[in-house]
Structure 1
Amino acid sequence: MPDAQTVLIAGGSGVIGTELARQLREAGHTALVLVRRPAQTPFERSWDPEARWLRVGILDGVDAVVNLSGASISRLPWTLQYKREILQSRIGATATLVDAMAKAETPPRVFISGSAVGYYGDRPGEILTEESAPGDGFLAKVCVAWERAAAPASAHSRVVYARTGLVLGEQGALKPIRMLAKLGLAGPLGDGRQHWPWISLFDEAAALRHLIETEVAGPMNLVAPGPVPAGEIIREVAEDLGRPYWLPAPAWAIKLGLADAGRELLLADQDVSSARLTESGFEFRDTTVPEALAAV
């Protein structure tokens, strides 16, 4: 972003939001973060997405809104109640932002709304692009509804759906893998050959910044070039920590123990293409898993 801009982040206290705010401020921009409590700093703004409340005046002077808000899909188990929370937290937050932007005197010029590669479901043998149809399963339904909730903002703002893969950072998706590796329990999940579309935490935030600056619209896959097998990622984590990679977790046990979460988070095979992102001019800093782990 060549000129100083003001970016409002929903979900700004999470792993991705924190890194995005850091990068924005480092580049000379203003990052405002929505919080669900009274604001305590000049860079915080209060809102209540469960009550669908956001003061319209908060959007005055805001150039872009980035929506990363939603209950964590990494929290297990996925009970029926928690599944409802995963869905409703995303729909409620997105609808709150869209309604406020529609009422603003000068709506933000761009709305980057979160989504995920879960949109595609389990698709072995396919190369998945932004043109691919949605898949089956709980996460696919959540992502479709999440993007649909953001769509009305296109009446006044450029809308991008950021379909994010597995984010490799100190927290988030790497945390449980690193914990297992430290305990000497790392090994293949199922046969370990399923493709995991991944992206480093740095590149995830940098890509979100890129989407604000460029004029692309619609879905955009935020994944590193060339998804790698799940077993390779886990092996790299174990080797990085100097721990063994040996203990397999059979697919039947994962499905039995974790049900939909096991099938969709751990065993799904997704060869997701990042071609559209690179063609838009984005340059990855971390193109291999070892590079991403070294940064962690």
Structure 2
Amino acid sequence: MAIIVTGASGLLGSALVRALRDEGQDVVKLVRREPRADDEAYWQPDRQEIDRAALEGARAVVHLSGASIGGRRWSAAYKRELLDSRVQSTRVLAGALAGLSAPPEVLLSASGVDFYGDTGDRVIDESQGKGDGFLSDMCEQWEGEAARAGEAGVRTVLMRSGLVLSGKGGVLGQVVPIFKIGLGAPLGSGKQYWSWISVDDWVQAALHVMKNRDVVGAVNFTSPSPVTNTRFTRALGKALRRSTMPIPVPAFALSAGLGEFARAALLPSHRIRPGKLLDSGYRFAHTSLDEALRAVL
């Protein structure tokens, strides 16, 4: 009754694996090389190869694989990599699960709040439909492949994550060095909402939905307290005890420096409510951004 995890070496995967093992769970990591330990199994989604025997009888599967969205400009080739690393891997995994004689009870598959597109200052939950843009289209295709497991009877949860706050990388790993030298500043108008979640809450929310059989479909993995980018900037500066720049970085400058990544990932507004987590009884450890930043930093 192992729990299978893809992307286990990443920020979220490594934190989740630690938490599962702390609970005494047997975890098997899918790796894209020859397995070197009993807790590893082989897959290579680019070749449509996967160790189906490792999946038979598993308790749950958590799928977190995907190329990093941030940290670089998006060329046409890298956008294809972003898409393929998610869609192809999910297609291979969900197809394998659908063909098992003893499939897992649940599949938790990663996605993002980018599914909703730019929603301005409206508070939205999982009932909101798809938005526009490359990331929204990618999330739709990504989730569509995971749905194949659901069609085969596997309870499928689509984890639409916001910005995950961790002191070990992710968005903070990219921006903290800038803030530490006093160059932190709001981006664009600064009025766009950023929906965030602490890494501890992300992990505990994943464990919560894994165990709660009533939770199915899209689930927003975000704190119930989204903030504007300006508020985020001030809170991070305060947590690091650094002043921040009073003048925002203009949207045109961000676009010139970071290209489509800035326009698609930094400037859109996501004011998200984690409706299904709250309704299913999940209690957040960190509902205040200041508190969350203190905890992770």
Question: Does the CA contact (< 8 Å) of 1:177 and 1:234 recur in 2?
Answer: no
Shift of 1:102: 1.8
Measured after TM superposition, the shift of residue 234 of structure 1 is: 2.1
Aligned counterparts of 1:176 and 1:250: Cα–Cα separation in 2: 19
Deviation at 1:71? 0.5
Sequence identity of aligned pairs in percent?
A: 39
Quote the residue 1:177 is aligned against.
Answer: 175
Letter of the aligned partner of 1:132 in structure 2? Q
Instruction: State the Cα RMSD in Å.
Output: 1.2
SS in 1 for 2:50: coil
2:239 corresponds to 1:234? no
2: CA distance between counterparts of 1:241 and 1:41? 40
1:243 correspondence with 2:270 = no
Checking the alignment, whether the CA contact within 8 Å between 2:41 and 2:51 is kept in structure 1 is no
2:211 equivalent to 1:213: yes
Distance 1:152 1:92 in 2: 13
What is the SS of the residue equivalent to 1:126?
A: coil
Gap runs ≥5 in structure 2? none
Conserved? CA contact 2:105–2:154, under 8 Å: yes
Structure 1 residue matching 2:104: 3-state secondary structure: coil
Amino acid at match of 2:288: T
CA distance in 2 between counterparts of 1:75 and 1:45 reads 30
Query: Which structure 2 residues correspond to residues 1-296 of structure 1 after superposition, within 5 A?
Result: 6-154=2-150, 155-170=152-167, 171-215=169-213, 216-246=215-245, 248-296=248-296
Shift of residue 26 of structure 1? 0.8
1:90-130 alpha-carbon deviations (Å, 9 max, x no partner): 01110111121122220011011111000011111322211
Cα separation, partners in 2 of 1:78 and 1:41, compared to 1, 3 Å: same
Aligned-residue offset at 1:153: 0.5
| Partner Cα separation in structure 2 for residue 288 and residue 185 of structure 1 | 24
Q: Distance in 2 between matches of 1:131 and 1:236?
A: 30
- Gaps (5+ residues) in structure 1? none
Comparing 37-46 with 132-141, greater Cα deviation is found at 37-46
Aligned-partner Cα distance in 2 for 1:198–1:13: 22
Q: 1:44, 1:282 → 2: CA distance?
A: 31
Secondary structure of 1:17 counterpart: helix
- Larger deviation, residues 59-68 vs 161-170: 59-68
Query: Distance between the aligned counterparts of 2:37 and 2:236, measured in 1?
Result: 37
Give 1:65's aligned amino acid: V
Distance in 2 of aligned mates of 1:277 and 1:264: 26
- Aligned-pair distance for 1:254? 1.2
Q: Could you tell me how far apart the structure 2 residues matched to 1:158 and 1:130 are? A: 17
SS in 2 for 1:254: helix
What is the alpha-carbon distance in structure 1 between the residues aligned to residue 145 and residue 13 of structure 2? 20
Distance in 1 (CA, whole Å) between partners of 2:225 and 2:286 is 12
In structure 1, the residue corresponding to 2:281 is in which secondary structure?
coil
Amino acid at match of 1:292: A
Residue 251 of structure 1, CA deviation:
1.4
Distance of 1:119 and 1:214 partners within structure 2: 24
Q: 2: distance between equivalents of 1:125 and 1:182?
A: 30
Whole-Å separation in 1 of the counterparts to 2:28 and 2:203:
15
Report the CA distance between 1:53 and its aligned residue.
0.7
User: Aligned with 1:115: secondary structure?
Assistant: strand
Counterpart CA distance in 2 for 1:287 and 1:32 is 32
Q: Distance in 2 between matches of 1:223 and 1:280?
A: 14
TM-score by length of 1: 0.95
